[in-house]
């Protein structure tokens, strides 16, 4: 099946995606949404675990479906010489290779950067790992919770007595996916000016550390060390906090600047509080006040004024939200095997080079024949590779 050419600012860039699970696949999906041609390369003996992880949607792992739209899928046995040759033939046509294996895995497979530059001198390799390359921690296993802990982010989350686990994978995405996209774009810009590719090391612990910039500014320079909720933006201020409402739903109050706080005080008929912006003694009074109305009542009341008062939406409310609908933040695709699928759309709007809608996440090996034909393989050669198990296609 011939895929349509993706439109967008990265049209014409080909990326080989060797990554699995969350950080790498989300990054490559964003790059595909921006117009890059992304080919997901998997060894059928050890494919992306997300394909099979529960929960499932029509037989497919729903986390895989959430992170792999608008990609082509090539399933080749990289341990076979013919399979490895397919990879090298494909690499000669590519701009970037992205992987999320621990350091040393690509060396064992024989498709590492130093070997790759013998086939394509200006290739860019982007490696997204927990602890990076060339250090004592490089080979350590880890997940989002470990990286957040090492970067100090978890220590800021919770109450004075207890650290709370975030409900989303902050390090995987803010420390993995987004930096990987930035790394690809920066390396492409560098190659455009120098003509040279490079190896780029994205370590999720390192890339999570900038989340601590506000905290660490004082710690690094004045030895001030904050405890949980002690920092101004972490729960210590009454005017920058979260409040439960009468219906047990929640509101976010972000009236940090005096003008917003003064407006909020007018809204609640407490103009005398305007000078008590940093007075922690009124926190309990605000808690009691918010409990007098339902969340949506507060939202309607606050919408009339510019005071940074926002309802906290639950997950089942997001798709119906007027703002998110207007911004086109949800997308829907149809797949011949597993049917209709909804997902979160590309968040960045390019008005000069708008992106294509793309297509549903592919079955493993769904694009084998098309990719190989475009590389110059004959029908007979493709059939022989199938019969030998070098290429495999998931049927359903």
Q: What is the 3-state secondary structure (H, E, C) of the chain?
A: CCCCCCCCCCCCCEEEECCCCCHHHHHHHHHHHCCCEEEEEEECCECCHHHCCCCEECCEEHHHHHHCCCEEEEEECCCCHHHHHHHHHHHCCCCEEEECCCCCHHHHHCCCHHHHCCCCCCCEEEEEECCCCCCCCCCCCCCHHHHHHHCCCHHHCECCCCECCCCCCHHHHHHHHHHHHHHHHHHHHHHHHHCCCCEEEEEHHHHHHHHHHHHHHHHHHHCCCCCCCCCHHHHHCCCEEEEECCCCCEEEEECCCHHHHHHHHHHCCCHHHHHCCCCHHHHHHHHHHHCCCCHHHHHHHHHCCCCCEEECCCHHHHCCCHHHHHCCCEEEEEECCCEEEEEECCCCCCCCCCCCCCCCCCCCCCCHHHHHHHCCCCHHHHHHHHHCCCECCCCC
What pLDDT does 196 receive? 98
Residue that the structure tokens 């605000």 belong to: 286
What pLDDT does 2 receive? 87
What pLDDT does 304 receive? 87
In this structure, whether the domain defined by 14-210+327-387 belongs to CATH 3.40.50.10540 is answered with: yes
Grouped pLDDT means (10 residues each) for the chain, 396 residues: 92 98 98 98 93 93 97 96 97 98 96 98 98 97 97 91 94 98 98 98 98 90 83 86 97 96 96 92 95 97 94 97 97 93 95 95 97 97 96 89
Query: What does the block give as tokens for 362?
Result: 């592919």
For the chain, domain boundaries: 14-210+327-387, 250-311
Kindly list the distances between the CA atom of residue 111 and the CA atoms of 48, 81, 86, 230, 338, in Å, as whole numbers in the listed order. Answer: 18, 12, 11, 49, 33
pTM: 0.95
**Rounded distance between C-alpha atoms, residue 16 and residue 97, angstroms:** 5
What pLDDT does 314 receive? 97
What pLDDT does 158 receive? 87
What pLDDT does 84 receive? 97
What pLDDT does 48 receive? 95
**φ/ψ of residue 196, rounded to 5:** -115, 140
Q: How many residues does the chain have?
A: 396
């Amino acid at each position: 099946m011939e895929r349509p050419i993706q439109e967008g600012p990265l049209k014409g860039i080909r990326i080989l995606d060797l990554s699995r699970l969350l950080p790498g696949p989300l990054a490559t999906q964003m790059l595909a949404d921006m117009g890059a041609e992304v080919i997901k390369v998997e060894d059928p003996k050890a494919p992306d675990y997300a394909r099979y992880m529960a929960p499932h949607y029509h037989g497919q792992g729903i986390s895989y479906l959430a992170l792999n739209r608008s990609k082509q899928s090539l399933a080749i046995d990289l341990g076979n010489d013919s399979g490895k040759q397919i990879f090298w033939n494909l690499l000669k046509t590519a701009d970037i290779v992205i992987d999320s294996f621990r350091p040393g895995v690509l060396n064992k497979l024989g498709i590492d950067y130093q070997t790759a530059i013998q086939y394509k001198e200006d290739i860019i390799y982007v490696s997204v790992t927990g602890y990076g390359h060339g250090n004592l921690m490089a080979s350590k296993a880890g997940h989002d919770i470990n990286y957040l802990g090492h970067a100090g982010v978890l220590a800021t989350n919770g109450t004075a007595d207890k650290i709370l686990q975030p409900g989303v994978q902050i390090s995987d995405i803010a420390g993995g996916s987004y930096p990987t996209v930035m790394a690809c774009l920066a390396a492409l810009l560098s190659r455009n000016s120098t003509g040279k590719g490079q190896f780029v090391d994205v370590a999720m612990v390192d890339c999570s550390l900038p989340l601590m910039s506000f905290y660490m500014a004082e710690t690094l320079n004045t030895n001030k060390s904050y405890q949980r909720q002690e920092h101004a933006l972490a729960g210590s201020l009454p005017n920058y906090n979260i409040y439960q409402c009468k219906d047990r739903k929640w509101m976010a109050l972000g009236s940090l600047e005096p003008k917003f706080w003064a407006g909020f005080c007018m809204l609640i008929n407490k103009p005398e509080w305007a000078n008590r912006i940093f007075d922690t003694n009124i926190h309990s009074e605000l808690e009691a006040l918010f409990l007098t109305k339902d969340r949506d009542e507060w939202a309607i009341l606050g919408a009339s004024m510019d005071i940074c008062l926002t309802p906290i939406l639950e997950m089942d409310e997001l798709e119906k939200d007027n703002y998110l609908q207007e911004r086109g933040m949800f997308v829907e695709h149809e797949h011949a095997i597993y049917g209709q699928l909804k997902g979160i759309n590309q968040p960045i709007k390019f008005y000069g080079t708008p992106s294509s809608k793309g297509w549903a996440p592919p079955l493993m090996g769904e694009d084998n024949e098309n990719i190989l034909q475009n590389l110059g393989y004959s029908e007979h050669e493709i059939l022989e590779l199938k019969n030998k198990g070098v290429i495999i296609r998931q049927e359903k």
